């Protein structure tokens, strides 16, 4: 998917002589999930199902059940965001990259839970999902940092994920790292160079972060009114807009 995936597991979560084998199994499970979805959905791979759809060699009617299901999910999000999130590029090509990374992270998390690992942090290209605690058996939350888009070596904020709070996922979208790759609703450039969203699940966080960048202030207001989320948005002039959850989060 053109990004780096990392898995953090506290040493206390896999104690004893079998700990190394458990970590190997966890890593392999995460790799399998991302590899399988990359083979289907990546537009970086000319042999993927998504690339065949983009070239017109395959119709959506002929596509796999997994492809059709994720397309249906994306269409549902387009309705929920009033078009700010879209599964199609401006040229009409189907591109599910706005939803598939979050879906992959969620599926990898399910694989870890199936292995009985109850404390972990998954990070895929800066989008984070956690369960349990960095201190197993405690209510201590994980700390996820939000990078400053004007200075990638510093942080704007840290957000407490998991622990006693309901939000276990944090996703960031914008143009600071990859340029203007998000299609805006209406005129190009809605004023946000970066948006971070904390939510109970990673797909909601990922989709809404992208939708707010695309839809601007109007979508930011719809998102904060319609979902139980926290948002940190950075305008192109450097001004920060933050919900109370982010304002209360200390810097790392």
**Which CATH number fits the domain that encloses residue 171?**
3.10.520.10
Backbone angles phi, psi at 231, to 5 degrees: -135, 140
Rounded to two decimals, the pTM is 0.90
Best CA proximity match to 9, nearest among 21, 32, 26? 26
Has residue 252 been placed in a domain?
no
Q: Which residue has the higher pLDDT, 177 or 97?
A: 97
Has residue 49 been placed in a domain?
yes
Kindly state the percentage of the chain with pLDDT values over 70. 89
The DSSP annotation for 161-226 comes to ESTTSS--EEEEEESTTT-S-SPPSSSS--SEEEEEEEESSHHHHHHHHHHHHHHHHHHHHHHHHH
Structural domain count, the chain: 1
Average pLDDT over residues 15-30: 81
Ranges of H-type helices in 42-127: 49-54, 65-80, 97-114
**SS3 state at 14:** coil
Has residue 170 been placed in a domain?
yes
Has residue 133 been placed in a domain?
yes
Q: 139: domain range?
A: 5-247
Has residue 206 been placed in a domain?
yes
Amino acid 229: pLDDT:
97
Has residue 124 been placed in a domain?
yes
Amino acid 12: pLDDT:
82
Has residue 11 been placed in a domain?
yes
Q: Which residue has the higher pLDDT, 203 or 21?
A: 203
∠ CA 210-214-218, rounded to 5° = 110
Amino acid 153: pLDDT:
87
Amino acid 2: pLDDT:
75
Q: Is the pLDDT score of 66 beyond 80? A: yes
**SS3 state at 147:** strand
Amino acid 186: pLDDT:
45
Report the C-alpha gap between 199 and 230 in whole angstroms: 7
The string of pLDDT tens digits covering residues 190-228 is: 589 999 999 999 999 999 999 999 999 999 999 999 999
Q: Which residues of 189-213 are buried (b: 16+ CB within 10 A; e: fewer)?
A: ebbbbbbbbbbeebbbbbbbbbbbb
Average pLDDT over residues 224-237: 95
Residue 7's beta-bridge partner residues?
122
Say which range, 3-17, 67-81, 100-114, 211-225, has the weakest mean pLDDT. Answer: 3-17
Has residue 27 been placed in a domain?
yes
Q: Are residues 171 and 209 in contact, defined by beta-carbon separation less than 8 angstroms?
A: yes
């Amino acid at each position: 998917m053109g990004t780096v995936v990392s898995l953090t597991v506290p040493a206390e979560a896999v104690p004893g002589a079998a700990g190394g084998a458990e970590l190997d199994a966890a890593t392999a499970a995460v790799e399998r999930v991302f590899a399988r979805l990359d083979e289907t959905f990546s537009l970086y791979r000319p042999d993927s199902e998504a690339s065949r759809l983009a070239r017109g060699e395959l119709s959506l009617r002929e596509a796999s059940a997994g492809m059709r299901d994720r397309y249906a999910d994306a269409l549902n999000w387009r309705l929920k965001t009033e078009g700010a999130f879209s599964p199609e590029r401006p040229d009409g090509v189907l591109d599910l990259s706005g939803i598939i990374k979050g879906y992959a992270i969620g599926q990898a998390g399910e694989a870890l839970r199936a292995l009985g690992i109850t404390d972990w942090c998954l990070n895929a290209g800066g989008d984070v999902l956690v369960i349990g605690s960095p201190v197993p058996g405690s209510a201590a939350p994980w700390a996820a940092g939000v990078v400053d888009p004007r200075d990638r070596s510093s942080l704007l904020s840290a957000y407490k994920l998991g622990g006693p709070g309901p939000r276990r996922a944090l996703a960031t979208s914008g143009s600071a790292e990859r340029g203007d790759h998000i299609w805006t609703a209406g005129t190009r450039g809605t004023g946000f160079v970066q948006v971070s969203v904390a939510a109970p699940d990673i797909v909601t966080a990922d989709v809404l972060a992208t939708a707010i960048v695309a839809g601007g202030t109007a979508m930011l207001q719809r998102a904060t009114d319609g979902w139980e989320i926290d948002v940190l948005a950075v305008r192109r002039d450097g001004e920060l807009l933050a919900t109370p959850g982010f304002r209360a989060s200390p810097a790392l």
